[in-house]
Amino acid sequence: MKKFATKYGSFSENGKEYVIATPRTPRPWINVISNGDYGMTVSQTGSGYSWRTHAQLNRLTRWEQDLIKDEWGKYIYLRDEKGNVWSAGWKPVCAEPDAYRCRHGLGYTILESKNFGIETELLMFVPRDEPMEIWQLTLRNRSRKTRTVSLTTYFEWGLGQAPDWHREFHKSFIETEYDSKAGAIFATKRLWEVPTERGHWNTNWPFVAFHASSMKPSSYDTDKESFLGMYGNQAMPASVGEKQLAKRKGNWLDPCASLRNGIRLKPNQEATVIYTLGCGDSRPHAADLAARYRSKDAVQAAFSKVSEHWAMLLDTVHVTTPDDAMDLMENTWLKYQAISGRIWGRTAYYQTGGAYGFRDQLQDSQLWLPIDPGRTKQQLLLHARHQFSDGTVYHWWHPMSEIGLRNDISDNLLWLPFVTNAYLQETADFSILDLAEPFVDVAHPASMYDHCTRAIEKALGRFSQRGLPLIGAGDWNDGLSAVGLDMKGESIWLGHFIHRILHDFADVARRRNDIERSERYRAHAHTLREKLNTLAWDGEYYYGATLDSGGKLGSKENEEGSVWLNPQTWAIIGQVSDRDRSEQVFDVVEKKLEFEIGPLLLYPAYRTPDKYVGYLTRYSPGMRENGGVYTHAATWAVIAAAMLGRGASAHRLYTKINPVHRGKKADVYCAEPYVTPGNIEGPDSAFFGRGGWTWYSGSAAWLFKVGLEWILGIRPTVEGLLVDPCIPSMWKGYRVKRTFRGAVYNIEVRNPERVECGVKEVWVDGRVLGAAMGPRRTTLPLFQPETAHDVVVVLGKTESPS
Ligand code: GLC
């Protein structure tokens, strides 16, 4: 049964595939497939690119960002005995197929097409732990005649960084070779443009790329000129019609890779050819990889390993709620997007990154907590190594070159203690605080506790005279890039964020007997809270920031951007506002910022570029940080609603930003309905409701977290797993399977009185749980690892909702 069908596609019955019914979607709808080192993007047209370790510094195949043409890729041309030419995907020939489907799955994509009586099925995936990709092409002759089909692969080599504006330069370092015994093309490059601290580069690209076929090719080419023909084009390359490819190789070429095979198929006969593309560490390694997948069995074994791996990762947390679209996202797609796209691939179509954003991948790594918290720990240690001894951090850095950007954005460093605290809540593994890591500038290792507290101390040293934190070159919102360059302007959101962290780390410090610090953090939090509630209060809500000149932003005094989302939601999340004020500011969020597409980051949009505010004012009104829904921040509104016990609001907000629902108006929304977008254009845009920047968005991990922890209310704390549902009152109940400290909790929540929140009774393995019950929530007992337990939670009206 198809789920959430639109004219462009639908989810498969088990929700684990998104099946696209036509190559002509409103934008490229892609998959980001990665094994943590090697990766590839593939769109529904069959276009995309491949990389190893870093999608920018170490891209293997050429790709230029063009979301309209989407015409860079790794392609297979087919030509029959009559001279009909088409491709296994839709691009680059763009023949009109008799049938077409693109199935994006977990770790793979399948392109199915039928042309001139020949059915093709192209399975593309990346094996679990090898730096390569496999394309298995199956052809079936559905006509009544014997058919002869030639197959010709084609793509262009990039081999490291090779920017478009410098391609003539870069091509002169590439060398290709054909090994007829192996049936494989090999490619190397004598230069790798990876900038280092010393500002120059003069090394070989340290890999050997290959492209091979399971069937011995009858000819090959590695020269784009002979392949396409001078002034030729990809849609109809000159050589596809030739009996043989030109067999050009060596240096001085415009380097590409192309292999030619021929196949004869009787009626109803089927044949399979396997192609590989990859990036070995050396020539023998590349040759070994190129020889590995020559049979369907070998491919099947590798494919099963990939599927099992994804099942193992994704099935660790499973929810069954009355909201199918939420189940699809929580069970499958948000986790997949965060892991494959954001943490492993770190690239997509709207942004091809490859770097680590200090705050970005740290926040993303929270996704691992209920699945495999050891991976969050690794991410924390990695980021600690990218901190300087004064507590500041790289805004982002490139793996491979280790080049990073330092700036005065004020919140980056604080995500280290924030995510460390989240790790502690999940695991109670306080030993992480004693692990030692170096700094960027000091090799001598310091404890993680030291790393975290240096970040906090640094942040505490950057306050204005009147006691609010300085915004510097921006806070979480990168687009506020000019507000505080003179180190005078203040950020209110940052104040709320610091307030939260001070309380969390006051607890951590107390546990470590660092009493002076614990008390100091508490005292500072106390003062900060007072200041925020007096100095940052705008009458009806919190304003957003002050400029270096002292003027307010995000205030009723401003005509543009007069109310901001983060300073309201985080007043609640950071526990800065009291109950009444929290209710009041949340009402403001609902009334002034919430639209059909979700809560806007600010409203109304800036129409005039303002050099004292920052680049967000330069975006078209309603776009991205300038008055669109910024999905990442929108997820925080769900937490705020749930903290207030507003179940209907929490779920409504989640639903509004759930791409499954947004995608129903596919021609307005345009973007993929199975992954979150970075942003949705707001009411001040001519394209109100259009989604963009999909895949590469920190919202995936957060939306997963807020759904599981704040709506379904299954939340880790140091003491144990908390149950604190906050749901729409019409829900009868739901189930959650979740692993916590090694034990499996099978939780069933029942809602006989149709309330939004309030835990009345808890049964564990058939016995009622007495003592630990609070007024609204309850902490479940801890269990032995590797045991499974049934928990029944009955909601109902409780005496005093907290
Ligand atoms: C981008 C950045 C992220 C930032 C956000 C808001 O998504 O990657 O770090 O917080 O924009 O500006």
For the stretch 21-76, pLDDT in tens is 999 999 999 999 999 999 999 999 999 999 999 999 999 999 999 999 999 999 99
Is the CB of residue 357 below 6 angstroms from any atom belonging to ligand 1? yes
pLDDT given at position 197: 61
610-636 confidence digits (pLDDT tens) = 999 999 999 999 999 999 999 999 999
Read off the pLDDT of each residue in 333-344 and give the average, rounded to a whole number. 98
**Among candidate residues 114, 37, 777, 611, the one with its CA nearest the CA of residue 340:** 37
Check pLDDT > 70 for residue 18. yes
318-335 confidence digits (pLDDT tens) = 999 999 999 999 999 999
Read off the pLDDT of each residue in 465-487 and give the average, rounded to a whole number. 98
477 CA closest ligand 1 atom index: 12
476 alpha carbon to ligand 1 midpoint, in Å? 7
Closest residue (by CA) to atom 6 of ligand 1? 477
730-760 confidence digits (pLDDT tens) = 999 999 999 999 999 999 999 999 999 999 9
How far is residue 130's CA from residue 430's CA, in Å, rounded to a whole number? 35
426-438 confidence digits (pLDDT tens) = 999 999 999 999 9
**Is 153 in contact with 211 (CB distance < 8 Å)?**
yes
**Is 413 in contact with 455 (CB distance < 8 Å)?**
yes
pLDDT given at position 221: 98
Read off the pLDDT of each residue in 356-382 and give the average, rounded to a whole number. 98
Check pLDDT > 80 for residue 296. yes
Read off the pLDDT of each residue in 282-304 and give the average, rounded to a whole number. 98
**pLDDT grade for 784, boundaries at 50, 70 and 90:** very high
Check pLDDT > 90 for residue 176. yes
CA dihedral 470, 471, 472, 474 (to 10 degrees): 170
625 CA closest ligand 1 atom index: 12
CB atoms within 10 A of CB 372: 15
pLDDT given at position 801: 46
pLDDT given at position 774: 52
Closest residue (by CA) to atom 1 of ligand 1? 478
CB atoms within 10 A of CB 144: 9
Tokens of 42: 């593939």
Q: What global pTM score does this model have?
A: 0.98
Is the CB of residue 478 below 6 angstroms from any atom belonging to ligand 1? yes
Check pLDDT > 60 for residue 249. yes
**Is 798 in contact with 775 (CB distance < 8 Å)?**
yes
Closest residue (by CA) to atom 3 of ligand 1? 360
Cα angle 582-587-592, degrees, rounded to a multiple of 5? 130
How many whole angstroms from its chain centre is CA 660?
16
Is the CB of residue 698 below 6 angstroms from any atom belonging to ligand 1? yes
**pLDDT grade for 802, boundaries at 50, 70 and 90:** very low
Read off the pLDDT of each residue in 110-134 and give the average, rounded to a whole number. 98
Is the CB of residue 359 below 6 angstroms from any atom belonging to ligand 1? yes
How far is residue 707's CA from residue 727's CA, in Å, rounded to a whole number? 10
Check pLDDT > 80 for residue 777. no
**Among candidate residues 373, 387, 390, 391, the one with its CA nearest the CA of residue 431:** 373
Pocket of ligand 1, candidates 397, 412, 418, 476: which has the most ligand atoms within 8 Å of its Cβ, to mutate?
Answer: 476
494-531 confidence digits (pLDDT tens) = 999 999 999 999 999 999 999 999 999 999 999 999 99
**pLDDT grade for 790, boundaries at 50, 70 and 90:** very high
Beta-bridge mates of residue 125: 108, 134
Least confident stretch, 181-195, 459-473, 703-717: 181-195
CA-atom Rg of the chain in angstroms: 28
**pLDDT grade for 773, boundaries at 50, 70 and 90:** low
Percent of the chain whose predicted confidence (pLDDT) is above 70: 98
According to DSSP H, which parts of 402-476 are helical?
A: 415-427, 448-460
**pLDDT grade for 800, boundaries at 50, 70 and 90:** low
* Strand runs labelled E in 681-800: 691-694, 714-716, 721-723, 733-740, 743-750, 759-764, 767-768, 778-779, 788-795
Q: What is the mean pLDDT of the chain?
A: 97
